[in-house]
């Protein structure tokens, strides 16, 4: 029997394409063959020591799997992490695993390896992901990144117990106690954005205003996004229709016209460090931030740190929204070691690994899975003990990101251009009417519709 095998160019290409498709679509099986080198670009954590926990986890995995792991910690200062993602996508080269900021994950979807096998397995173990994680991490029904624990955060209020009690009569510990306390449900129900405004007015009068940034950086955009969401003020809906001209938007802008009068005049120039400094200096009575401000206060001004307490955002007519900023771990389609990358990401999505990251970050990191809100760190960290117990969103809190539910390509423009805080600046500092600010935003949003 003569073996007659003729290799045409077409047959070779077809074979290669089938092999590639098979490697991309076949379920991941953790084998002893996941070896070689693995280069990783992780976000450089604000919290000192947090990177060490992650390095340790990766090294342990590398030794077990016989993979040589090389980690670069890339700062998000000056948008360097975003720049790295864009540069690697353009060059079609770079790290095997790259940490992606909230919007970069969906933006790079076409360049990323689908992670359904890893994320679906993690969901089975850790519970479902939050809505905001799904909004950003799932494109056309497929997971394009693995929800990252390191760096993912929410920006609820971090207030001074003493000043809030003294000026506004607000007992935040009674309202949201630590692990062993009994929450005061009535007080929680009264914790609305109207109550927030009233407390802000009283604290301003008492000489310790709330420190709420209204600049163009993420801290400002995030808390304002939660306020808009709480009132149901949506700039662009999920279908891509411009819906900014609504009663809800007018309500928010009128609300802000009152709030701006009782916060520092320079908030329009604040960056992400300004609110932290305002709290740590002892001037401010409340900021909207992850516990990093408190962590720095422990180091720099212990008296302030001892009076800090983190608790959920106020409630609006549409619910209690926590300003969230989830990160993702992604693997480029051109990565040379996709198998090892997936193996490591599966390892980092284990409950034990996630808990180690949360401990390493002093409770700063918020896992993207709903069942992982019970780690001891949040209950134990202090002083004061329990300061971060209410930091991870639980119960009625809805984690959201500013500009959602607009289609991601439009939402990112709204977020990056800080359209919401600019609207507020226009109708407060700028002296424009609410209607004019909305008209300006409509025109901006039309520009964001480009495809």
Binding site for another protein (CB under 8 A): 78-79, 82-83, 86, 103-104, 107, 215-217, 264-271, 274, 277-278, 281, 283, 409, 412-413, 416-417, 422, 425-426, 429-430, 443-444, 447, 450-451
For another protein, the closer CB: 217 or 246: 217
Taking Cα atoms as reference points, which of 74, 70, 71, 72 lies closest to residue 43? 74
50 vs 236, beta carbon nearer another protein: 236
The answer for residues whose C-beta is within 8 angstroms of residue 356's C-beta and 6 or more apart is: 53, 56, 57
Separation between Cα atoms, residue 115 and residue 137, nearest integer Å = 10
CB of residue 330 to another protein, shortest distance in Å: 15
CB pairs under 8 A, 24+ apart, for 376-384?
379/178, 379/179, 381/291, 383/298, 383/302, 383/305, 383/306, 384/161, 384/306, 384/307, 384/308, 384/309
Q: Please count the other Cβ atoms lying within 10 Å of the Cβ belonging to residue 255.
A: 19
Q: Are 219 and 76 a contacting pair, CB within 8 Å? A: no
**71 - beta bridge partners?**
40
How far is residue 147's CA from residue 327's CA, in Å, rounded to a whole number? Answer: 6
Per the listing, tokens 């051109």 go with: 334
- Contacts for 186 with CB less than 8 Å, ≥ 6 apart: none
Cβ-Cβ contacts under 8 Å for 74 (sequence gap 6 or more) = 41, 42, 43, 44, 80, 81, 84, 99
Q: Closer to another protein at the Cβ: 274 or 337?
A: 274
Pick the closer one to another protein by CB: 379 or 449. 449
C-beta closer to another protein: residue 18 or 79: 79
Closest separation between CB of residue 219 and another protein, Å? 13
- Closest to another protein by CB, 57 or 85: 85
Q: Looking at beta carbons only, is 58 or 297 nearer to another protein?
A: 297
């Amino acid at each position: 029997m003569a073996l007659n095998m003729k290799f045409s160019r077409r047959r070779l290409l077809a074979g290669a394409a089938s092999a590639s498709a098979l490697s991309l679509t076949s379920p991941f099986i953790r084998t002893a063959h996941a070896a070689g080198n693995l280069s990783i670009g992780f976000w450089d954590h604000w919290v000192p020591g947090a990177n060490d926990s992650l390095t340790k986890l990766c090294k342990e995995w590398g030794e077990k799997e016989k993979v040589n792991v090389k980690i670069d910690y890339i700062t998000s200062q000056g948008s360097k992490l975003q720049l790295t993602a864009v540069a690697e996508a353009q060059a079609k080269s770079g790290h095997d695993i790259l940490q992606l900021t909230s919007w970069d994950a969906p933006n790079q979807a076409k360049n990323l390896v689908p992670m359904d096998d890893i994320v679906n397995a993690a969901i089975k173990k850790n519970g479902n992901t939050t809505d905001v994680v799904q909004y950003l991490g799932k494109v056309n029904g497929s997971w394009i990144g693995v929800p990252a624990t390191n760096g993912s955060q929410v920006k609820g209020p971090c207030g001074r117990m003493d000043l809030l009690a003294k000026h506004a009569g607000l007992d935040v510990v009674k309202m949201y106690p630590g692990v062993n306390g009994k929450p005061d449900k009535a007080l929680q129900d009264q914790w609305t954005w109207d109550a927030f405004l009233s407390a802000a007015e009283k604290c301003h009068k008492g000489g310790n205003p709330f420190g709420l940034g209204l600049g163009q950086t993420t801290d400002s955009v995030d808390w304002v996004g939660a306020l808009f969401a709480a009132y149901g003020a949506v700039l662009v809906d999920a279908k891509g229709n411009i819906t900014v001209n609504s009663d809800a938007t007018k309500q928010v802008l009128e609300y802000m016209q009152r709030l701006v009068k009782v916060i520092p005049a320079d908030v329009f120039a604040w960056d992400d460090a300004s609110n932290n400094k305002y709290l740590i200096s002892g001037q401010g009575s409340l900021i909207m931030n992850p516990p990093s401000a408190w962590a720095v206060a422990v180091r720099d001004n212990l008296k302030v740190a001892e009076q800090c307490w983190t608790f959920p955002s106020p409630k609006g007519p549409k619910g209690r929204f926590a300003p969230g900023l989830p990160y993702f771990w992604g693997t480029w389609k051109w990565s040379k070691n996709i198998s090892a990358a997936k193996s490591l990401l599966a390892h980092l999505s284990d409950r034990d690994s996630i808990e180690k990251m949360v401990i390493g970050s002093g409770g700063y990191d918020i896992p993207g899975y709903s069942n992982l809100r019970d780690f001891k760190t949040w209950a134990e960290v202090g002083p004061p003990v329990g300061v971060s117990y209410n930091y991870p969103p639980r119960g009625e809190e809805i984690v959201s990101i500013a500009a959602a539910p607009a289609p991601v390509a439009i939402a990112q423009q709204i977020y990056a251009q800080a359209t919401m805080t600019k609207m507020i600046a226009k109708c407060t500092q700028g002296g424009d009417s609410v209607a004019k600010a909305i008209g300006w935003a409509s025109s901006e949003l039309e520009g964001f519709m480009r495809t």
